[in-house]
Structure 1
């Protein structure tokens, strides 16, 4: 069971291992929140990573050797295991967890110690929605409904202020 928590990642070192679509999405989200993002992948295929000069890219293959993984991740606050190899993602997660490093494993619902929730925000609120990794589709549906509610609240407050 995951405890909902908001964490400040501004100027924290963040590593994404994997340069595909999911890695790209995670990189953009973490960059938006001020993380110093490094993407480590033999081949980066996601344009959003390549086009962002604030995302450091290391074009190198990730070894499945635990000692090498430990050496790679040791300086990072948060690691995202986003390769297309489930076993490698699990190995990365296990190493990070043994070193008390926050890790998100995109190919597992359990082999990690941190999750990305659906986020709804405006100038006043930031709301995180999680489904314990069980239903991303339903989390997205709920996100849309919550966004409508906070937009209505903001609109109503602005109307009241203008009266």
Structure 2
């Protein structure tokens, strides 16, 4: 069971490994929270990443699935998002981060990580996160939609 928690990401170092659609989605989700985001990827597949402001992109950089190299890469980061299309690499990054006390979100797994993103619903007054613990994203989206309707009513 996952414990819901809100974290201040302002000026925290966040590493995103991968440059595809899912990486971009995660980056867009946390960008407005003031994180210091670095993206390391062999290829920026999601070209929209290049238009985002306030992120550093290190492209053309192959991420080797080697324990010592991964440890060196993730050292000093508060949160790491493993968002490559290589499930084994993502799991190794997750294992290394977890054993080093680094928050890790692994897009390849619903359980092999220690930090999960909830669906966020907000207005000027409230911020609510919804999660099914990775079990049913469709139901989570439906719940977000219903909560948004309630927030819209309250705001008026």
Normalised TM-score (structure 2): 0.97
Q: Give the C-alpha shift of residue 48 in structure 1.
A: 2.4
Give the 4+ runs in structure 1 shifted more than 4 A: none
Contiguous gaps of at least 5 residues in structure 1? 156-163
Matches within 5 A, 1:72-151: 72-151=73-152
Q: Give the C-alpha shift of residue 46 in structure 1.
A: 1.1
Matches of 2:20 and 2:89 in 1, distance apart? 15
Match of residue 42 from structure 1: 42
Matches of 2:135 and 2:83 in 1, distance apart? 18
User: Which of structures 1 and 2 has the bigger CA Rg?
Assistant: 1
Q: Deviations over 1:34-72 (max 9, x none)?
A: 111111000011122111231100111111001100000
- Alignment root-mean-square deviation, CA: 0.7
Matched residue count: 155
Q: Say whether the 8 Å CA contact 1:28–1:48 is kept in structure 2.
A: no
Matches of 1:48 and 1:33 in 2, distance apart? 19
Matches of 2:146 and 2:47 in 1, distance apart? 30
